[in-house]
A = this chain, B = another copy of it.
Amino acid sequence: MKKKEIEYQIRKKKSFLSIGLDSDINKIPDFLKNNEDPLFEFNKAIIDSTNKFCVSYKINSAFYECLGSRGWKSMEKTINYLNKNYPEIFTIADAKRGDIGNTSKMYADAFLKNMNFDSITVNPYMGSDSVKPFLEVDNKFIILLALTSNKSSKEIQLKKISESTNENFVFSEIINLSKNWGDDSNTMYVVGGTKPEFFKRIRKQIPKHFLLIPGLGAQGGDLNKICENAMNDEIGIIVNSSRSIIYASSGNQFDKAAAEAAEKVQNLMQQILK
């Protein structure tokens, strides 16, 4: 998917919401567990009820891997269902991969070619040759971890680099380096919604790149603060919420409850987009 298409969908749907399919077999409604593939049935219902209110789904691969090959199949069925029925949706494999070149190529094949995700989250710690194989697949995005939403992100990401001219943080140095590995047509960055005080600094470095902002909802990020500091002229942000939408209810009407939760966020986004 191209950047222009994502921007078009954001304006059309008046939403820059991504819904995280962190679908946990222990948290989905009990009555679904009689199905042959409970995770897929859960995802299908959530997708059918919430897609009007979002522009993206983010599939967290850990939640599928912990069910083994059966879980991997649920992930494959979910991305196939999205690609077939909602091709306008920007799909994110939240897999945080990254390895030496020949191995990263295998991960790129797995997620971007075979499963045909539009994007994958990539850990930049191993440097450019570990990231470039992902950039070699056309019409896809890598979403590089920059400043993550968790508390401990400060331990390494917020250390300061001494050689850099401006005493950059480690994460800022990574942005500076990596913005030349690709460009804003194939690279986005993960910046935690729990760290709004860093957004302006980041926007100076990368005014045009999309930011994927997790941490809204269960993790405590504030939507207004995020938008004030992170948006650019083309919107330029996708804000993700997982648990507070998909687990809005554990009853029979879980999909309806998820839609209501998603619509609430979409309404706030619509206000902000005005």
Interface residues of A (CB under 8 A from B): 22, 24, 60, 62-63, 65-66, 68-70, 72-73, 76, 94, 96-104, 106-107, 109-111, 114-115, 123-130, 145, 148-157, 159-164, 167, 170, 173-174, 177, 219
A170 with B167: CB separation less than 8 A: no
Which chain B residue lies CB-closest to A215?
A: B100
Q: Are A125 and B125 in contact (CB under 8 A)?
A: yes
- Is there contact, CB below 8 Å, between B130 and A150? yes
- Contact among B22, B127, B163 with A152 in the assembled complex (CB-CB below 8 Å): B127
Q: How far is the CB of A94 from chain B (nearest CB, A)?
A: 8
Cβ distance A167 to chain B, nearest Cβ, rounded Å: 6
B149 contacts A100, C-beta separation under 8 Å: yes
CB of B125 within 8 A of CB of A154, answer: no
Q: How far is the CA of A155 from the CA of B175 in the complex (A)?
A: 12
What are the nearest 6 A-B pairs in CB distance? A127-B152, A162-B162, A62-B106, A127-B155, A129-B152, A65-B110
A159 to chain B, nearest CB (A): 5
Q: Is the CB of A68 within 8 A of B156?
A: no
A73, closest chain B residue (CB): B69
- In the complex where A65-B107, A106-B62 touch, is A127 in contact with B156 (Cβ < 8 A)? yes
Instruction: Point out the residue from B63, B65, B106, B155 that lies within 8 Å of A177, measured CB to CB.
Output: B155
Q: Hey, which chain B residues are within 8 Å of A170, CB to CB?
A: 156, 159, 161, 170
| Distance (whole angstroms) from the CB of A160 to the closest CB of chain B | 5
